[in-house]
Every structure is written in structure tokens, then in C-alpha cells.
Amino acid sequence: MPIDPVCKMEIDKEDAGAETDYKGSKYYFCSEDCKESFDKAPEKYAEKKKKAAGEC
């Protein structure tokens, strides 16, 4: 189950409040507010996803 990169809430893809593609990865959000936060600073949140996956 995907995790909202902003608030860290588990998201069911079918119930996601919003979603976006960023640099070839799909991100799911619990709400439009979290998506707006992501859109303002995507590198901040995308980097956390990469680190969580064990990448440098």
C-alpha cells in the first residue's frame, strides 16, 4: 500500500485524495492539501522516498 510522502499516511490507491507523477514515479496523497505541499517542494518529499527505499 502506498504511503503519502507528506504526512506518511497509508493510502489505498482507489481512495487516494490526489495523485501525481514526478520523475517517473507515481505518488498518492490522502488529500489535495498534501499534494499541494508536495508540488511546492517535490525534491524534499521525493528524496525521503528514495532514502526509505535504501538508495543514496
**In one letter, which amino acid is 40?**
K
pLDDT over 50 at 43, yes or no: yes
**Model pLDDT for residues 5-21, shown as the tens digit of each residue:** 999 999 999 999 999 99
Per-chain mean pLDDT for the chain = 87
**For residue 55, is pLDDT > 50?**
no
CB-neighbour burial class of residue 20 (10 A; exposed 0-12, middle 13-18, buried 19+): middle
**Is the pTM higher than 0.85?**
no
Cell numbers for 22: 514526478
